[in-house]
A and B are shown apart, each in its own frame.
Chain A
């Protein structure tokens, strides 16, 4: 769908995107990075608003810059919060539907449908100037999906949405992904991204630090042993047993919450062993978790 090969983009002396290579397939992929990491620049490259200085970007096998054939199959929700403020939400979406090549009748029908899908059907006849941030986000999403594109690019789409709106948005995102759409969502909020997808592209200072499934990326980070937290009423006994295992590096007691936390370099081997604690050693294990097998930990490990 989207092929990025050694793409770099310079703005004078400043590099926006640095030698990024990746292929984005159908499903939800999160483009993750701090402010200034190059997320919006990469999205602008993919949407053909700007051209790579070196390397190439192909969407459906075509270069996207100023290419109407690509735009027929691509929807883009920009981060900017600017609109034609004198128009109503309905007029704005309808205008962009007409620009997408729909006839007046098609545009009207599709505008009504899409406004209903994003929960704006009953508020679409007010002027955009009077919209809240959340309403504006919904209208931006509506204009991105109105021509039923195969690729949808969303730049910080959850900004300004209330919790209900966020839940609805994420649910809608998964519905789109189930329909086979390729969705690329940029965000700098890890919590949001974790709820959206496990597939990430992590950008830092223009470089692609990691890409793929969150848990697989975590496995590749050898520098930091995996942490595992075990809930048990017998922490000392369990700790004494576990510390004997060759792949367990360290065991600590969690005096605040009870239980123990250990570090291991062989997570799969450890989880294979874990059931024997209860079946053969008769210890009581009430729960376990892997506190650093999440996006936030990976993010911090990778940029350190």
Chain B
């Protein structure tokens, strides 16, 4: 029997254990409250526009944050906590170990993202219709893309959490808003293309915002899917090869 399912399920159980996951449930509940506050302060917003706004501004940031944290737990945290030695001296092929653990992190981050989206939909009283479902698919793909990329960073750089957080909050927030085509080198731009949130255009101060299809982001959803799947596959292949050939040893005081 392959060891991969056990590595995946045990890692998933560890990442979803109540003490570790409770904070993300609290975040989802906070999104419910935030959705209601948002509606209160923007009474002209429709449920869909309120949901879309909060999803773009916060839910996809939560996704990147969760990915930075859980992807670091795949290898980097094991090295820092010195428990990597127990994993690397077992008869488990290293590529299996890292791919199964990355998959578990991606599933966990997907759950975090969808929970936050559910909280936002409940708070803004948006329907669980097309916009929500497109968001879910973008969140799942985003979870896999961010995790694959952040695991790669953690394999190459010590203390990778800081780099990943800067990427999640600095790069991913700023680059999609930059002029020209530079937004195309941001994961978030592709996820927004897949999510295809209605664009909010204020037409007059005393009238409700009008929802129109996205305009600035010219990436087609089909191309976005391909690009993200390509990123996940390439990063995962690189991660498996790199982890199989390089040393991951905790520092010890004695020797």
Contact = CB atoms under 8 A, between A and B. Distances in A.
12 contacts: A16-B255, A37-B255, A44-B249, A49-B247, A71-B92, A74-B89, A78-B86, A80-B82, A86-B19, A99-B87, A99-B92, A156-B254
Interface residue range, chain B: 20 to 34
B249 A71 contact: no
B93 interface: yes
Interface in B46-92: 81-83, 85-92
For the complex of A and B, the 9 pairs showing the least CB-CB separation, nearest first, are: A40-B255, A68-B91, A82-B82, A99-B90, A71-B91, A72-B91, A80-B82, A76-B89, A50-B247
B94 interface: yes
Given A40-B254, A80-B250, A69 B91 contact: yes
A96 B247 contact: no
A258 interface: no
A41 B85 contact: no
Given A49-B88, A68-B91, A99-B92, 18 more contacts: A37-B255, A44-B249, A48-B88, A49-B89, A49-B249, A66-B93, A66-B94, A66-B244, A66-B245, A68-B92, A72-B91, A76-B85, A76-B89, A83-B83, A98-B10, A99-B86, A101-B91, A143-B86
B249 A68 contact: no
Interface SS majority for chain B: loop
Interface of B: 1, 3, 6-7, 10, 14, 17, 19, 81-83, 85-94, 244-245, 247-250, 252, 254-255
Nearest to A71: B91
A66 B88 contact: yes
A41 B255 contact: yes
Interface in A144-189: 156
A188 B165 CA distance: 43
A273 interface: no
A48 B87 CA distance: 12
A78 B255 contact: no
A202 B93 CA distance: 33
Interface of A: 16, 35-41, 44, 47-51, 66, 68-69, 71-72, 74, 76, 78-80, 82-84, 86, 95-96, 98-101, 103, 143, 156
Contacts of B82: 80, 82
B17 A82 contact: no
A304 B19 CA distance: 54
B255 A35 contact: yes
Nearest to B95: A66
B85 A50 contact: no
Contacts of B255: 16, 35-41, 79
B250 to A, nearest CB: 7
A82 B17 CA distance: 20
Nearest to A147: B91
